[in-house]
Chains A and B, each alone.
Chain A
Amino acid sequence: MYPGGLVTLALSICSTGVFAFPSPLKDIAERSIDTKDSEPDILWEKYGLNTSAEYKYFHEPGRDDILGHYDIRFFNGTVSDEERAVTLTHMTRAYLNFFNENDLETWISHGTLLGWWWNGKILPWDWDIDTQVLDTTLIYLADHYNHTRVKYTGDETTLDREFLLDVNPWARQRVRGQGHNIIDARWIDIKTGLYIDITGLSKLNVSTPDVWECKNGHKYSTVDLYPLRRSMFEGVPASVPFQYDAILIEEYKDKALAATNFHNHTWYPDLKEWVMDDEETIASRDNQDPKDDRQYEK
């Protein structure tokens, strides 16, 4: 929702939180309570990952709001807003179904969770879908399901799609490292290159065994996440954090749960939908003081 602000926030949290940690060389599979410098570097020995030369694994064709949401390996031009919306919806359903069928734990997060809270759907202005898994699940995915291609047929027969589960090799390094690989895995639409971001949560700090962190500095307490609640998202079963409202307020502040105008969309309670404002409204809004022009409903 506020990508710039979030990233800055995340970076600032990370810079204080992660660098204070004694050793950045930690492997989830072999994690021990007290890491000593003499401990063998499992990332290097077992997986050939040299932490001093961390490279970026996932690449995008560009960094802006549009190009930043395609995986470069499958990118063949930007798609229309309509196709993007359709793709994101089916991609999300396929992802949730895949995790359900294989008894893998995942839940929706960030802007996707906010969309769930409003009406169980993706926010129409949201370009990326975010999900989270525990680090144990992440490593399990890496060991057993990496590079799985999943065929998917939507409601309409024309919608045959194929999705790729791609786990970042750097997912085994649970600290932020050089910050090139904060996304641990992707669920990629092979046809368009659009993707779902999958991030793993780990307990990074021994002194706070109750706190789960992603590589981007978001922190969650166990009691806010667990037990996961079962609900529906985009028409398929999905899990959400136990205290989803506390998590949303923490990340997006109160207004995100109250204001009915966002990114040129207006919330219609009766329709239960965010509807794109017509151009006139947008134009008049742009011409006026942004505080006076908003349209509110009862």
Chain B
Amino acid sequence: MAVHPDNDSIYFSDDTSDDGFHYVANNENSPFRLTRYSRSLIDFVRNEWQNSAKYSSSPYNSPSTRPSARHGIHVAVSLISAPRFRRYVFVYLILLLSLIAGWKWVLSPQLAEHTSLLVSLGPQSKLAAGGWYGTNALPELENIVRIRSLNPNLLPRPMENPESRRRLIFIGDVHGCKDELTELLEKTTFNPSNDHLIFTGDLITRGPDSLGVVDLARKHSASCVRGNNDDQVLILRHSMPGSKDLDEISKSPDTKTNSKTNKPLSKTSQARNLARQLTDEQAEWLDTCPVILKVGQIPKMGEVVVVHAGLVPGVEFEKQDPVSVMNMHSIDLETHVPSASRKGVKWTKLFNKDQSLLYSRIKNTVADPLSKMTTVIYGHDSKSGLSIKSYTKGLDSGCVNGGKLTALVISDGGKQEYVQVRCRDYQGSNLR
């Protein structure tokens, strides 16, 4: 161990194992250093062999040469009072606390969640629930297309092709934000002859130009799925001619007084106005948007489907309840019953776990296991924002609330790219 006088700072060897109580000063001119080293420098110099464990086997370190008890206390006190020691104690304490916190709030809940998801997908859960959700035979709902398949000619090619490229552009919930949609299309260098647009639902309501968005989507022969807000407007529109519509309800004396403060009703009346404003062509186009759009095979993603809100794992597309598919946020782990409530486990967690279990089951027995996977592209969940997981891609990044509008661009060879534009906040005013 040596002091280097040629250096402009007091420098100790970087082998820190030997000098637990030495102060390292990097700046010779620091006043702090000056007070510290007011004693002769030689007092601070130690020979490495005296302290280091590396030399503990040497004959000089025999019991006879050990310091007395008094000297031991002295060393202990100087150890504790040494600034570096205190700093280490502080650092280790922080480390320990963060480890405990990490276990308690991150790792342990994750392990618990992992276990609960596994249990949820296991046979015991099915037994306890007396069966899982999704075996019922739901009757047809009028004017709702449940499933549609995308024209396979629109799919990106399996390999990259420099001469002609083909892309699918999936776009999250637009909610009438036509300017942002136009901007996003420019940013993705959208080319109608090569690219096909697919919307994750809720094209309309809440934003400034719902009808304009529908016209733009129709102009580009886009595909879409039915969102919960689209659904409300369309069902309202179908219930209007002849039958008693919601006007009568909102005109009843009880609601008049509270019409200004009552948000849900004014949202309904907005939906009602929109239902009236839609032209027949626009309404018919929206009505053709299925609840589930089967996109087809895409490299690295397997079978791709688009829905507005979500899917229940393990239930075939035909058996998925359309209203749940348009509304779900969470899923009950015992029964697999989905719910629009945000309380409980997100459906995406169970879906991804189910898919990864499937993958690990088949990866060694099937030639192209990824092609057997299902990937869901969805919207609806603006609160969670962009949410990209292995088998679920959530694209609603809350454009109409001043968030972003997101596009997932899939090009030849299955290359994925996310493109976003910023949005104005259309909910600040009384639009809600």
Q: List residues of A whose CB falls within 8 A of some B CB.
A: 31-33, 103, 105, 116-120, 134, 136, 203, 206, 209-210, 221-223, 226-233, 242-246, 249, 254-255, 257-261, 267, 269, 272, 294, 296-297
Q: Which residues of A contact B116 (CB under 8 A)?
A: none
In chain B between 232 and 257, which residues have their CB closer than 8 angstroms to a CB of chain A?
A: 232, 235-236, 238-239, 242-246, 248-249, 252-255, 257
Are B323 and A210 closer than 8 Å at their CB atoms?
A: no
Are A116 and B262 closer than 8 Å at their CB atoms?
A: no
Residues A257 and B238 in contact in the complex (CB < 8 Å), given A226-B249, A294-B130:
no
Selected from B140, B245, B246, B264, the residue in CB contact (under 8 A) with A210 is B264
Q: Which residues of B contact A230 (CB under 8 A)?
A: 141-143, 238-239
A-B contact pairs, 27 of them (CB 8 A): A33-B257, A105-B244, A117-B136, A117-B138, A120-B139, A206-B254, A206-B257, A209-B258, A209-B262, A222-B265, A226-B249, A227-B232, A230-B141, A231-B141, A233-B139, A246-B327, A249-B337, A254-B334, A258-B336, A259-B129, A261-B130, A267-B131, A267-B135, A267-B136, A294-B130, A296-B127, A297-B135
Q: Which residues of B contact A259 (CB under 8 A)?
A: 129-131, 335
Q: List residues of B whose CB falls within 8 A of some A CB.
A: 126-127, 129-133, 135-143, 232, 235-236, 238-239, 242-246, 248-249, 252-255, 257-258, 262, 264-265, 268, 321, 323-324, 327, 332, 334-337, 339-340
Per the bound structure, the CA–CA distance linking A272 and B136 in Å amounts to 7
How would you classify the secondary structure of chain B's contact residues: helix, strand, loop or mixed? loop
Shortest Cβ-Cβ A-B pairs, 8 listed: A259-B130, A120-B139, A258-B335, A260-B131, A230-B142, A272-B137, A254-B337, A254-B335
Are A244 and B323 closer than 8 Å at their CB atoms?
A: yes
The smallest beta-carbon distance between A52 and chain B, in angstroms, is: 26
The smallest beta-carbon distance between B206 and chain A, in angstroms, is: 15
Q: Which residues of A contact B265 (CB under 8 A)?
A: 209-210, 222
Residues A245 and B323 in contact in the complex (CB < 8 Å), given A223-B264, A230-B238, A267-B131:
yes
Are B135 and A255 closer than 8 Å at their CB atoms?
A: no
Per the bound structure, the CA–CA distance linking A229 and B139 in Å amounts to 12
The smallest beta-carbon distance between A209 and chain B, in angstroms, is: 5
Are B264 and A231 closer than 8 Å at their CB atoms?
A: no
Q: Which residues of B contact A254 (CB under 8 A)?
A: 129, 133, 332, 334-335, 337
Per the bound structure, the CA–CA distance linking A261 and B265 in Å amounts to 40
Q: Which residues of B contact A134 (CB under 8 A)?
A: 249
Q: Which residues of A contact B255 (CB under 8 A)?
A: 203, 209
Q: Which residues of A contact B135 (CB under 8 A)?
A: 260, 267, 269, 297
Are B136 and A223 closer than 8 Å at their CB atoms?
A: no
Q: Apart from A32-B253, A120-B139, A258-B336, what 13 extra A-B contacts exist at CB < 8 Å? A: A31-B253, A103-B242, A103-B243, A119-B137, A120-B138, A209-B262, A210-B264, A226-B246, A230-B141, A245-B327, A258-B337, A260-B130, A294-B130
Residues A229 and B141 in contact in the complex (CB < 8 Å), given A103-B243, A254-B334, A260-B135:
yes
Are A258 and B131 closer than 8 Å at their CB atoms?
A: yes
Per the bound structure, the CA–CA distance linking A209 and B235 in Å amounts to 22
Are B264 and A222 closer than 8 Å at their CB atoms?
A: yes
Q: Which residues of A contact B252 (CB under 8 A)?
A: 136, 203
Are B268 and A223 closer than 8 Å at their CB atoms?
A: yes
Are A297 and B139 closer than 8 Å at their CB atoms?
A: no
Selected from A33, A222, A257, A272, the residue in CB contact (under 8 A) with B249 is A222
Are B129 and A258 closer than 8 Å at their CB atoms?
A: yes
Q: Which residues of A contact B132 (CB under 8 A)?
A: 258
Q: Which residues of A contact B264 (CB under 8 A)?
A: 210, 221-223
Are B268 and A242 closer than 8 Å at their CB atoms?
A: no
Per the bound structure, the CA–CA distance linking A32 and B256 in Å amounts to 11
Per the bound structure, the CA–CA distance linking A220 and B126 in Å amounts to 31
Q: Which residue of A lies closest to B134 (CB)?
A: A258
Q: Which residues of B contact A231 (CB under 8 A)?
A: 139-142
Per the bound structure, the CA–CA distance linking A129 and B235 in Å amounts to 26
Residues A227 and B236 in contact in the complex (CB < 8 Å), given A136-B248, A210-B264, A233-B139:
yes
Q: Which residue of B lies closest to A204 (CB)?
A: B254
The smallest beta-carbon distance between A106 and chain B, in angstroms, is: 11
Q: Which residues of A contact B246 (CB under 8 A)?
A: 222, 226-227
